[in-house]
Chain A
């Protein structure tokens, strides 16, 4: 469902120098699995995900989502993904119901209202469905954001650090939803820097640091590779082995 090959992307830093955010990243994610992009802040996770969401163009390399090239078939890619990032916001003076119908219509859903109603129940949003979004708590807003991302029932979910600022109850609901999505054959790409989340949720991990992939595999494979037991120790060993560049 997601195939990334030798992806590179450079930005210009505040001092005007080129900074390589993603440096030859390659990985894949298939249907019915949750793949975690694990790395510290600034590792290149968000840039990689924004390339996959067609919000940023890569300098080189290729990426396909659900069989569509992100460069040449952006509309098909956008129709195939549910994208959620810490930056995605909600119209403050729209209600959750209005937001869901709006996004479903933009995604071309014929039954936008019915889908919105179903998600109001699925994410327990109905009790505040008539409130303006800027009156909602962080957790409630995130529930609406998640529902917004999946309102068109896409085959691929790209969630970029979705638990930022969430309490444990809402985070658990999110994990439950993602596990359910995996069981229904959806491909989930999930980025985080929180080891516990990755350990609990992800079927495979892509460890990324300073724009490069350091290792990929299941948690068991990474343990074997590094000789460490705890994921935090696995991660530290991989990162230290990368060394300063």
Chain B
């Protein structure tokens, strides 16, 4: 029997060798560290460009303004006057000479309508505006919806190449055989590969979070706005995101293990990770809720739990369900990977 200490030293050796092999590869660095680090800033920049385009487009619009009859004649043609109570982008209330303008700051059309109403109403009207959906709250809601899914998708993407490299490339270049004719027990190799792919996915996740936080802090300093997501809430999602990333790594290895060639592994891993990323994206959809069927879909429920945590909720029950499912999936995938590797080597 191999001593337990020797087995753990062997596990450390496998993990170190696999990580060196992966982290000295340009593709791994590009897709697991740099791409996640710069993706969030890039997405935000693209969104800001889209917002600028939307602002220009909105200039030509006529926001609908629900306004009492006494004020209707005061408003310019650049807004569409509708009756009080009708669906509108801006709602105007009147009490004596006091005019209250209610609008949604996060909505460019509503903001445009508010600006045009305020500009048109001069003395004797005393105009006050109320943003009924402040932009920082809207921003936090959007971030809560996007960030968990983005974290999981990027972590899963980052696990693809390392999984193929750790199993199939290892077999094709003969290093698996090199390892298997040593005295180290078989579980050491599967555990070492899982740990190395897991580390890469965690690095991708940390890079994504770092990119997101730097971008948000930069935006806040530029605009003076508050992000609406306290750091404590962002940190609260890290444990569940880590479990999700590790389960993704286990599934990527599971998909790669039976493949007979690099190309075949790329195909099977791509298919498996596409399913996982689809499940993550399902949790990012605006009307996806942590209840009923979706609450029991692995990965989707993890993304939804993270969204609730970011919004300041504490869905402990669903969090337990998500973690239990992810651990079960990872355990099954690891057991199957061990079996696949053993069978292929006819040991």
Of B119-127, B170-178, B204-212, B225-233, the stretch lying at the interface with chain A is B170-178
Min CB distance, B300 to chain A, in Å? Answer: 36
Q: Tell me, yes or no, whether A42 is within 8 Å of chain B by CB.
A: no
Min CB distance, A63 to chain B, in Å? Answer: 15
A210-237: CB near B (< 8 Å → 1, else 0) gives 0000000000000000000000000000
Min CB distance, A229 to chain B, in Å? Answer: 39
Of A32-40, A100-108, A163-171, the stretch lying at the interface with chain B is A100-108
Partner of B183 from the list A88, A106, A148 (CB cut-off 8 Å) is: A106
Residues of A within 8 A of B346 (CB): 55-57
Nearest to B10 among chain A residues (CB) is A106
**A-B contact number at CB 8 A:** 86
Residues of A within 8 A of B181 (CB): 53-55, 78, 81, 83
Q: Tell me, yes or no, whether A87 is within 8 Å of chain B by CB.
A: yes
Partner of A148 from the list B1, B16, B178 (CB cut-off 8 Å) is: B178
Q: Tell me, yes or no, whether A89 is within 8 Å of chain B by CB.
A: yes
A94 x B21 contact (CB < 8 A): yes
Question: CA of A78 to CA of B188 in the docked complex: distance in angstroms?
Answer: 15
Min CB distance, B198 to chain A, in Å? Answer: 19
Q: Tell me, yes or no, whether A126 is within 8 Å of chain B by CB.
A: no
Question: CA of A89 to CA of B6 in the docked complex: distance in angstroms?
Answer: 24
Query: Which of B14, B174, B182, B347 has the most chain A CB atoms closer than 10 A to its own CB?
Result: B182
Question: CA of A5 to CA of B346 in the docked complex: distance in angstroms?
Answer: 21
Question: CA of A106 to CA of B6 in the docked complex: distance in angstroms?
Answer: 8
Chain B positions 122-180 with a Cβ under 8 Å from a chain A Cβ: 173-175, 177-180
Q: Tell me, yes or no, whether A132 is within 8 Å of chain B by CB.
A: yes
B25 x A88 contact (CB < 8 A): no
B175 x A90 contact (CB < 8 A): yes
Q: Tell me, yes or no, whether B185 is within 8 Å of chain A by CB.
A: yes
Q: Tell me, yes or no, whether B218 is within 8 Å of chain A by CB.
A: no
Min CB distance, A206 to chain B, in Å? Answer: 21
Min CB distance, B1 to chain A, in Å? Answer: 8
Residues of A within 8 A of B1 (CB): 75
Partner of B175 from the list A53, A74, A79, A91 (CB cut-off 8 Å) is: A91
Min CB distance, B174 to chain A, in Å? Answer: 3
B177 x A87 contact (CB < 8 A): yes
Residues of A within 8 A of B188 (CB): 106
Min CB distance, B345 to chain A, in Å? Answer: 6
Nearest to A79 among chain B residues (CB) is B183
Task: Indicate whether A98 sits within 8 Å of B17 (C-beta atoms), given known contacts A54-B181, A93-B24, A105-B9.
Answer: yes
Residues of B within 8 A of A103 (CB): 178, 182
Task: Indicate whether A106 sits within 8 Å of B182 (C-beta atoms), given known contacts A54-B347, A91-B21, A93-B24.
Answer: yes
Min CB distance, A21 to chain B, in Å? Answer: 12
Q: Tell me, yes or no, whether A67 is within 8 Å of chain B by CB.
A: no
Residues of A within 8 A of B16 (CB): 102
Question: CA of A57 to CA of B177 in the docked complex: distance in angstroms?
Answer: 15
Q: Tell me, yes or no, whether B184 is within 8 Å of chain A by CB.
A: yes
Min CB distance, A100 to chain B, in Å? Answer: 11
Residues of B within 8 A of A148 (CB): 178
Min CB distance, A114 to chain B, in Å? Answer: 15
Task: Indicate whether A91 sits within 8 Å of B17 (C-beta atoms), given known contacts A56-B346, A108-B2.
Answer: yes
A108 x B17 contact (CB < 8 A): no
Nearest to B179 among chain A residues (CB) is A106
Min CB distance, A78 to chain B, in Å? Answer: 5
Min CB distance, A89 to chain B, in Å? Answer: 3
Question: CA of A222 to CA of B6 in the docked complex: distance in angstroms?
Answer: 46
Q: Tell me, yes or no, whether A61 is within 8 Å of chain B by CB.
A: no
Query: Which of A54, A75, A76, A106 has the most chain B CB atoms closer than 10 A to its own CB?
Result: A106
Q: Tell me, yes or no, whether A85 is within 8 Å of chain B by CB.
A: yes
A105 x B24 contact (CB < 8 A): no
Question: CA of A153 to CA of B14 in the docked complex: distance in angstroms?
Answer: 21
Question: CA of A72 to CA of B83 in the docked complex: distance in angstroms?
Answer: 89
Q: Tell me, yes or no, whether B20 is within 8 Å of chain A by CB.
A: yes
A106 x B184 contact (CB < 8 A): yes
Q: A55-B345, A88-B178, A108-B184 are in contact. List 9 more A-B contacts (CB 8 A).
A: A85-B174, A94-B17, A103-B178, A105-B12, A106-B10, A106-B182, A106-B184, A107-B182, A107-B183
Chain B residues within CB distance 8 Å of chain A: 1-3, 6, 9-10, 12-14, 16-17, 20-21, 24-25, 173-175, 177-185, 188, 345-347
Between A and B, 10 residue pairs with Cβ closer than 8 Å are A55-B177, A55-B181, A57-B347, A75-B2, A75-B183, A75-B185, A92-B173, A98-B17, A108-B2, A148-B178
